[in-house]
Amino acid sequence: MAIIYSSMKKTRENCEEKRKRRESFFLSFFSLGYLPFIHRERERERERDMQQTLQQIIDERISFLKEQINPQNKSEENRTFQLQIDAIRSASAAAD
């Protein structure tokens, strides 16, 4: 039992030592001024993700409107769908 306890204690001490080394590394890494850089990179990634998501929503809406256009509709209906498509595309292009 004492051997198992001793082994567990050494394992725990090793884990604690590794954790302290990692913390020390990260603290020195961030204290060198890399934290603002990492923060800016994360902000850029979030912005890219939001732009991609917005573009997907726009594309889906345009696809839906295109599906609604068909020869069996009244011409006014089809023109209204096309007008909505053009307005979405115009707003999207203006935002870029």
pLDDT digits (tens, 9 = 90+) for 21-34: 777 766 665 555 66
* Phi, psi dihedrals of residue 73, rounded to the nearest 5°: -75, 160
Mean pLDDT of 9-37: 68
* Phi, psi dihedrals of residue 69, rounded to the nearest 5°: -75, 125
pLDDT score for 30 = 58
Scanning the structure block, which residue is given the tokens 């997907």? 56
pLDDT score for 58 = 92
pLDDT score for 29 = 57
pLDDT digits (tens, 9 = 90+) for 47-79: 888 888 888 999 999 999 999 999 999 999 999
Scanning the structure block, which residue is given the tokens 């769908």? 81
